[in-house]
Every structure is written in C-alpha cells, then in structure tokens.
C-alpha cells in the first residue's frame, strides 16, 4: 500500500468485510461518489479520483490562433486549462467527469479518458459508434444535440432518428446535418414511437427532398416544435422546388396559429415568399410575448 494512501479499517457492518472491499474496488463512478458521501471508509483516495470539468473540447489551430492544436477545458470554478497538442491530454492521469458540454471530435482520445459523462450539451463533429453515443448520453440529461457526422452500429449500418431520440429523452434543441441517413424506409411507422414532447427546436441542414417528404410526417405529429429546414444549393429539381413552394404557401395562407411556422431555405425561393414566411414567424413570436 502506498504511503500516500491512509489506512482505513473496515467499519463495523452487517456486511462481510470482503463485500465492502469488493464494493470499494468495483463501484462505478457515480456509485463511488455516493459511497464516499455516506461512509469515510470509501474515501480511500488522497483526493477525488476523477477530474471534474464543465466543458471539454479539442480545438484545431486556426490561422492567426496563438495556440497550436490544443485541448480546452473549463473547470467547475469557471477557470480554463489548455493542453497543447493532441497527445497532451495523456498527461491528465485521472479520468474526466464532464458536467455540461462535450465537443466530440477526437473519439480515439476522448472515450478512454471519460469516466462519467453527465452533460447537457453534446456536439458530434466526428463519426461515432452507437455504443459510444449511448455511453455519452447515458445520463439522459442532454438538452442540446448537434450532429454533424454519422452514428453507426458496429456492423456499419446507420442509426436512425428514432433510436437517437431514445438516448436523449430530455432534448429540447437538435441540429442535424442530414446528408447522412437519418430516416429509414419504415420511418412512417417508427415515428409513432418517438417522444418529442420536450423538443422545442429542430434544425435540418442540407436536407434532401425525399427526406423532406418523410420529415413532414414528423412535423405534422409534433407541430409544437420550431423547425428550420435548409436545402443544399442546387439539390432540388424544378418540380421539387414547386412542391416546396406550395408547402410554404399553405403555411403562409394559414396565417398565425398556435404553433410556430417553420423556416425553410433553398436556392430559388422567391423573395416574396421568404418575406411573408419571415414576417409570419416574427408575428407569431410577438403574439407569444404579448
């Protein structure tokens, strides 16, 4: 036993001492914290065994940046720590307990270093496995989710939006870069299983027309959400453009309702439709404030 670790005798208990020792060695981080609070026997470390941070991200060097590629951390007392270089994170000997925000962009370095991910904001900037995604969202506390890369099962199949919602039951704001597959062919049926009751805003970027047709079913089922849909320049045929214009006009003609009107952006949209839809959105939120 290290000289730095004080000897703590197994306390009197109805549990056999071997059971207490097993609990001490094998408790998961959150359970270990509870045990440490209730009994000093479990305070068997000279200090807390995890590095607790509010936020962590890896920042690539931008032109004119004073730092090289570096890790950026914010501690619980709102102080920042910077570790220069990708491998510099290995100098942190403790595993991380993250409480607020994680920018996930170097998975091979981040995943092994995380003990507890209790975050409310998750940015996925690199492809991620479904198992890793479930690990990062296991607390169930994620409220803001930004997905810019694919989530896949171990066999390489894409994870669709219904399974993503299962992992983030409290999510209020989603940004989705939708050139990846987000809807399966059975989406019309699986959307019935999606609980979006807490969702407030859903943004789909570079959405395809086929995804738009599927997603309108989700929109119809969850009209309380503020939607922002943006099509990639040149991705729509003339016929598809006309179909979306008709969809927008129906929203404009309906006027203010109890639900927020969507924002829809694409190349070729008329200035008048853009103005009318934008004005409708402003008028809606004015009525909510007044």
The tens digit of pLDDT for each residue in 8-47 reads 454 555 555 565 555 555 556 655 555 555 555 555 555 6
pLDDT for res 3:
41
User: 151-152 and 128-129: which strand pairing?
Assistant: parallel
Q: Measured between alpha carbons, how far is 205 from 61 in angstroms, rounded to an integer? A: 26
Q: Measured between alpha carbons, how far is 285 from 205 in angstroms, rounded to an integer? A: 23
Give the residue, 11 or 133, on which the prediction is more confident.
133
pLDDT for res 66:
66
Beta strands in the chain (DSSP E): 50-59, 70-75, 80-84, 95-104, 114-117, 121-124, 128-129, 144-147, 151-152, 173-177, 201-205, 226-230, 263-265
In the predicted model, what is the mean pLDDT of the chain?
84
Helix (H, G, I), strand (E, B) or coil at 254: helix
pLDDT for res 5:
42
- Given pLDDT bands bounded at 50, 70 and 90, which one contains residue 267? confident
pLDDT of 82 over the 50 cut:
yes
Left, alpha or beta for 140 (phi > 0: left; psi -120 to 50: alpha)? left
**Angle at CA 278, nearest 5°, toward 275 and 281?**
150
Domain map of the chain by residue range?
A: 1-47, 49-109
The tens digit of pLDDT for each residue in 113-128 reads 999 899 999 999 999 9
Q: Measured between alpha carbons, how far is 160 from 215 in angstroms, rounded to an integer? A: 12
Q: Measured between alpha carbons, how far is 135 from 142 in angstroms, rounded to an integer? A: 12
Helix (H, G, I), strand (E, B) or coil at 187: helix
pLDDT for res 268:
76
Q: Lowest mean pLDDT: which of 145-149, 158-162, 260-264?
A: 158-162
Residue for token digits 């595993």?
95
Residue for token digits 């690990």?
135
Q: Are 120 and 97 in contact (CB under 8 A)?
A: no
Question: Can you tell me the mean pLDDT for 50-66?
Answer: 83
Question: Can you tell me the mean pLDDT for 160-186?
Answer: 86
pLDDT for res 61:
76
Give the residue, 237 or 193, on which the prediction is more confident.
237
């Amino acid at each position: 036993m290290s000289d730095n670790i004080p000897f703590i005798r197994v306390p009197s208990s109805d549990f056999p001492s071997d059971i207490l020792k097993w609990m001490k060695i094998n408790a998961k981080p959150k359970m270990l914290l509870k045990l440490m609070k209730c009994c000093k026997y479990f305070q068997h470390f000279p200090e807390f065994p995890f590095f607790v941070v509010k936020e962590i991200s890896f920042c690539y060097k931008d032109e004119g940046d004073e730092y090289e590629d570096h890790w950026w951390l914010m501690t619980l007392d709102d102080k920042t720590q910077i570790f220069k270089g990708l491998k510099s994170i290995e100098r942190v000997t403790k595993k991380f307990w993250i409480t607020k925000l994680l920018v996930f962009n170097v998975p091979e370095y981040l995943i092994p270093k995380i003990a507890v991910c209790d975050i409310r904001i998750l940015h996925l900037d690199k492809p991620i496995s479904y198992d890793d995604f479930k690990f990062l969202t296991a607390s169930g506390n994620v409220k803001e989710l930004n997905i810019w890369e694919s989530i896949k099962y171990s066999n390489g199949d894409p994870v669709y939006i219904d399974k993503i919602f299962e992992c983030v039951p409290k999510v209020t704001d989603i940004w989705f870069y939708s050139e990846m597959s987000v809807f399966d062919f059975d989406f019309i049926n699986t959307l019935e299983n999606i609980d979006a009751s807490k969702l407030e805003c859903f943004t789909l970027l570079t959405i395809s027309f086929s995804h738009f047709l599927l997603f309108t079913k989700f929109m119809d089922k969850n009209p309380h959400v503020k939607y922002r849909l943006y099509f990639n320049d040149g991705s729509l045929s003339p016929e598809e453009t006309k179909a979306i214009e008709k969809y927008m006009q129906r929203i404009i003609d309906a006027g203010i309702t109890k639900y927020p009107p969507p924002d829809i952006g694409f190349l070729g949209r008329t200035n008048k439709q853009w103005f009318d839809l934008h004005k409708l959105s402003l008028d809606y939120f004015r009525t909510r404030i007044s």
